Amino acid sequence: MKKLIIGAFVGGLILFFWQFLSWSFLHNSQMQYSPNQEEILGLLEGKLEPGQYMMPRAPLDASMDDAQKMIDPYIGKSWMQISYHNNFQMTMGMNMFRGFVIDFVSAFLLCWLFGKFREINIKSTILSSVAVGLIGYFTISYLNSIWFQTDSIPDLIDAIVPWAIIGAWLGWWLKR
């Protein structure tokens, strides 16, 4: 059990530090700056409840015909997704703690999975770890990028690089 906990802890640290670097350097395309941000924020303030929005969109209770009539005038025009919050806060401490806990749990689950393997070697742990990262990427980030036309290349890099490093670490550590 000690080997599992240490493996997961170090794996979680690898993932945590990778995410710090990744969000500092790779994800700029997913958080672009607008010189019109004050005007846009001013237009939205008081008009939305906190939540996520897709615009244009018909109300959930609209019939298919009514929804189509509402959407048709927007075909070929601008659209957006909004994550709206009415209280900007920089609560980095709690967010970082929660992030590390999730990274630790993810590495722990990977260690548990490797415990089910008949034989462990660095090649199998690297390939298996990258496969886990790619499964998450394909079913979440890439699928969303198809529907919402977003840039998912930073997420693809996040699905490969840190998971390969964690796989190499665990292949070395768990085989000892």
pLDDT(7) > 90: yes
- Cβ-contact 167, 117 below 8 angstroms: no
Phi/psi of residue 16, nearest 5 degrees: -60, -50
Question: Which two three-digit tokens encode residue 6?
Answer: 């240490």
User: Which one, of 113, 82, 89, lies nearest residue 11 by Cα?
Assistant: 113
The conformational region for residue 76 under phi > 0 = left, psi -120 to 50 = alpha, else beta, is left
Predicted confidence at residue 61, as pLDDT, reads 94
Phi/psi of residue 101, nearest 5 degrees: -60, -45
Give the model confidence (pLDDT) of 24-52 as tens digits. Answer: 999 988 888 999 999 999 999 999 999 99
Split at pLDDT 50, 70, 90, the class of 90 is: confident
Give the model confidence (pLDDT) of 47-59 as tens digits. Answer: 999 999 999 999 9
pTM of the model: 0.83
Question: Buried (b) or exposed (e) across 70-87, using 16+ Cβ within 10 A?
Answer: eeeeeeeeeeeeeeeeee
Give the model confidence (pLDDT) of 116-145 as tens digits. Answer: 998 899 999 999 999 999 999 999 999 999
